[in-house]
Amino acid sequence: MLFQSDKPVDNRTLDQLAERAAALIAGAEKIVVFTGAGVSTESGIPDFRSPGGIWDRFDPDDFTYQKFISSASARHRQWQLLWKERLTETVKPNLAHHAVAELHRLNKLDCVITQNVDSLHQAAGVPEDKVFELHGSMRRVVCLQCHRRYTMPEVKKRLDAGEEVPDCEACHGILKPDIVLFGEMLPDEVFSEAASRAEHCDLFIVAGSSLVVYPAALLPSYATDAGTELIIINLSETPMDQQASITIRAKAGEAMSRIMQKLAGK
C-alpha cells in the first residue's frame, strides 16, 4: 500500500496524495474510472440517500419497477418526481467530469463505468462508446411494449403541457425513463462488458462512490483480484479501502483536478 488517509485531507496532504496518484496514472495506459453519486452532487444533482436527499421527501417503496408497470398511480408519482425535481435539466459537468475527459484526451482512458444517470461524462467530452451507464440514463425514455425510444426533452414537453402519465405515441404502451428502478436488474450486456474492462485495465480509479450498491460495487474487486492498482477518492470510507493503493478523503472534483495538475507537470 502506497498511502492511505483515514480522515479528510488538508491541502498539503492532498498534494502528496495527488502526486502519488499522478505517478500511477503516468505509468498506466488502460485506466478505468468508476464514478458514483459523489460526482453528480458536485454538479448540483441531489443525492437520493443522504439526509435531505430525495428519499427524505419521497417514499422509495413507491419507486419500484414492479409498481411502475402495475400501477398507473405509481407511474404518475414517478413521472411527477422527474417533472417537479428537474433532476438533470440544468446541470453541467464539474471538475471531476472534466478531469476524466482529460484522461481520454491523453489516450489513457479505457472507459468510464458510472452509477450515475445524468450522462455528464459525455457532456464533458468522453465518447459515448467509452461510457458504461450501469443504471441507465435520464436522457432517454423507452416504451416497454414496442421499445420505441424518445428523448427526455420530448417527453418533458408533454409533461409541461399538462400530460400526467405520458404513454407511447406509437402503440400507447407504458413509457419508462431508461434508468434502472428498484427491483430491476442491471442490463446484463452493460455489466458484463464493464466487468471485463475492470478485469483487464492497468489502473482502476473510484471517484465519489461509497461502494455499497451491488452488484456495481463488485467491480473494483475484479480489478484488484487481477492484480491492478486501485485509487479511491471519496469523502467517506468504503469496503475496498484496505485493497486500495491510495485512498483520498476529499471531494471528487477537487482531488481529480489536483491529480491532473500534478500529471501535467510530469
- Which of the residues are catalytic? 135
Q: Cell numbers of 67, please?
A: 409498481
DSSP-derived letter for residue 248 is: E
How far apart are the C-alpha atoms of 209 and 32, rounded to whole Å? 14
Q: Cell numbers of 256, please?
A: 481529480
The CA-atom distances, in angstroms, between 26 and each of 102, 169, 263 are: 13, 51, 7
φ, ψ at 82 (rounded to 5°): -60, -40
Strand segments (E) across 40-108: none
Q: Do 224 and 243 contact (CB within 8 A), yes or no?
A: yes
